[in-house]
Amino acid sequence: MNGRVGKHRNIFLVWFVWPLITLGIYWFVWYYKINREARDFDRRIDVRPGVSLLAVLVGWIIIIPPFVSVYRTGVRIAEMQRAAGLPGSCNGWIGLILMFVAGLQSLYYQHELNQIWNHYGNPPEGSEVPLAVAPGWNQSGPGYGTAESQS
């Protein structure tokens, strides 16, 4: 099974510089892109980037959706790491907590994504790379996108 590589980004630019220059708009573009990269990297990861973006854009109206979306993005990044053959070091709870500390979740999540792209030697964005079959992944049928234990 193969997946497409996402973009290696400078974590400081993602967290501070581009959002500052664009008055915060870049953060939403980045958030959409990293969720799209999760979908493109491993088709077993269940994510709809547009819905993730809407959760953080307008989900504030009912309070909970942005927090769920940020947490689940961290979980998806950990799934991507396992699919690449790395330990799933990204933690959605840490991302959620960092959301309240100067918006550091973007710095943390991009750092974790960069580890995946570094693992593959930083090929150009969109390049096809082989995925490791992570233990516990159901590779067919309705279980796609869920880590199920094999008994």
Look at residue 147 in the predicted model and tell me its pLDDT.
Answer: 43
Q: Is residue 26 part of a domain?
A: yes
**Closest alpha carbon to 26 in 6, 62, 8, 53:** 53
Distance of CA 147 to the CA centre of its chain: 16
Q: Is residue 146 part of a domain?
A: no
pTM for this prediction: 0.85
Statement: residue 148 has pLDDT above 60 = no
Residue 144's pLDDT band, with cuts at 50, 70 and 90, is very low
Distance of CA 48 to the CA centre of its chain: 12
Per residue in 20-72, pLDDT tens?
Answer: 999 999 999 999 999 999 999 999 999 999 999 999 999 989 999 999 999 99
Angle 11-121-41 (CA atoms, 0-180°, nearest 5)? 75
Q: Is residue 83 part of a domain?
A: yes
Domain of 6 in residue numbering reads as 2-133
Look at residue 40 in the predicted model and tell me its pLDDT.
Answer: 95
The count of domains in the chain is 1
**Closest alpha carbon to 79 in 128, 126, 137, 31:** 137
Q: Is residue 99 part of a domain?
A: yes
Q: Is residue 140 part of a domain?
A: no
Statement: residue 145 has pLDDT above 70 = no
Look at residue 134 in the predicted model and tell me its pLDDT.
Answer: 58
- Alpha helices for 10-88 (secondary structure H): 11-12, 18-21, 25-41, 49-57, 65-83
**Closest alpha carbon to 80 in 140, 33, 40, 22:** 40
Q: Is residue 139 part of a domain?
A: no
